[in-house]
Structure 1
């Protein structure tokens, strides 16, 4: 098997590792590409392509995450990972298996961990690497990795997200939610929301965004049920998609450009959290990005003209 063939067989694994460490599609793709360049340039053939490439992409991602931490501390408003519609290299069955580990809630929880803890936790708990493989990947002893994992587990268990086990039920609830959203059915929306539901948006200061999280079923339903019918009047569309392994949608302007994404966390038959990513810097991998400010101005103009 050629190096190219070996790499392509492992590309999905490498991207999955890098994205979960970094929370960025573009940075994960860059890390995978850099790992390939190092693999291709290696003067000798590694005994295990998987070991070489997973170690390489993990170390690259850790280095990138360390530098990204400063930028995230200075970020305007809530920070969310770049929305992931799907891993184009991954087998669908494997994608289902890994869905919860890539959810917005899970990735935000990983932000509590140091870069090393994050890498160790993911390699061991999500991807099932042996301690020897984890140790080689992060450049620490097996004993040190066990200690890192213990600390990481404590942080993760303190706020571990839970999700509906029944994917069909989750998707059916999401379908009802988006139908009610398009119709501006405030009562219908409220029936689908948990009492303490949160609506949180990430604009990064580069797009219109909520001043703060909106909390409570009545508040969230009223806001969404009021805003979305006006968006539909100016030909904004809501395209259902899985976002980070959870039910969601891509919202597009009249030209089909990406305005923002919505993802829903579902538990006990109710929507617990609605995450909206509006920052244009985080949407380019999905497609051409809309001018959210222009859409916001048009909605205000139309609403003002129609009382």
Structure 2
């Protein structure tokens, strides 16, 4: 098998490793491209292309993550990973585990780990690499890697709520939720929200937060029903879509440009957290990005017009 063909066969795995370590689609794609350049330039064929390429993409990702941590500390407001529309690496026997490992909740927990802990945890717990291969990838002994995994697992387990794996049930609940709030049905929205639901947004200080920073079922339901109904009336599109292996949606303007994405955390038949990504720097891979400020102004004007019409009739 030629190098290029071999690499393309492994590309989905390499991207999936890099994305889980970095939490960025753009940076993961760059890491995979750099891995290819190094592989193409190598003169000695590796014993195992999978082990070699996985080691290279892991080392590159660890280096990138060290510098990315500095940028994240300077980030304005909450920081979320770039939304992932679909994971290119698939294993039918472990689909639920893989989906859980790429969820927003899991990626945010991974942020608690050091870059080295994060890489070792991803290789072992998500992709089930053996410790000799992990040790080769990160430049540590197998025994040291075992200790890193134990420490990382302890950090992850301490903060991880267990989300049920019934994806069909979650999808049905999400569709009911999106139908209710696009129709302005406050009661329908509220009954699907946990009492202490949170709505948080990553705008990076570069876009409006829309409905970010709200807490509690009553508050969140009223804000959503009022704002989103006006958004839909001006031609806005709410497109339900899997996001990081979870129910979510892409919000587009009337021309189909991306305004923001939503990801829903669901537990015990209720929505616990709504995470909004409106930072334009993290949406380019989803599609052409809209002028979110202009859309919000138009939405608010439509809401004022509706209110004025209601009060004068």
Structure-2-length-normalised TM-score:
0.95
Greater alpha carbon shift after TM alignment, 234-243 vs 144-153: 144-153
Map 1:148-187 onto structure 2 (within 5 A): 148-187=148-187
Distance 1:34 1:79 in 2: 26
1:283 paired residue number: 283
Distance 2:130 2:214 in 1: 43
Distance 1:148 1:39 in 2: 28
Deviation at 1:58, TM superposition (A): 0.3
Cα offsets for 1:141-164 (capped at 9, x unmatched): 112111211211111011113212
1:145 matches 2:148: no
Deviation at 1:91, TM superposition (A): 3.5
Is 2:211–2:223's contact at 8 Å kept on the other side of the alignment?
no
1:102 paired residue number: 102
Residues 9 and 97 from structure 1, CA distance in 2 versus in 1: closer, same or farther, beyond 3 angstroms?
farther
Is 1:106–1:161's contact at 8 Å kept on the other side of the alignment?
no
Distance 1:266 1:236 in 2: 25
Is 1:113–1:152's contact at 8 Å kept on the other side of the alignment?
yes
Deviation at 1:212, TM superposition (A): 6.2
Deviation at 1:242, TM superposition (A): 0.3
1:12 paired residue number: 12
Is 1:39–1:53's contact at 8 Å kept on the other side of the alignment?
yes
Greater alpha carbon shift after TM alignment, 278-287 vs 95-104: 95-104
Distance 2:298 2:10 in 1: 46
1:230 matches 2:230: yes
Residues 225 and 198 from structure 1, CA distance in 2 versus in 1: closer, same or farther, beyond 3 angstroms?
same
Residues 111 and 79 from structure 1, CA distance in 2 versus in 1: closer, same or farther, beyond 3 angstroms?
same
Residues 245 and 181 from structure 1, CA distance in 2 versus in 1: closer, same or farther, beyond 3 angstroms?
same
Is 1:164–1:269's contact at 8 Å kept on the other side of the alignment?
no
2:62 paired residue number: 62
Is 2:197–2:272's contact at 8 Å kept on the other side of the alignment?
yes
1:90 paired residue number: 89
Q: Which runs of 5+ in 2 are unaligned?
A: 309-313
Distance 1:97 1:4 in 2: 30
Deviation at 1:211, TM superposition (A): 8.8
SS, match of residue 242 in structure 2: strand
SS, match of residue 242 in structure 1: coil
Residues 210 and 72 from structure 1, CA distance in 2 versus in 1: closer, same or farther, beyond 3 angstroms?
farther
Structure-1-length-normalised TM-score:
0.96
- Over the residues paired in the alignment, what is the CA RMSD in angstroms? 1.4
Cα offsets for 1:156-179 (capped at 9, x unmatched): 011113212211111110110010
Distance 1:77 1:281 in 2: 14
Distance 1:112 1:77 in 2: 17
Is 2:96–2:165's contact at 8 Å kept on the other side of the alignment?
no
Distance 2:260 2:211 in 1: 17
Is 2:100–2:106's contact at 8 Å kept on the other side of the alignment?
yes
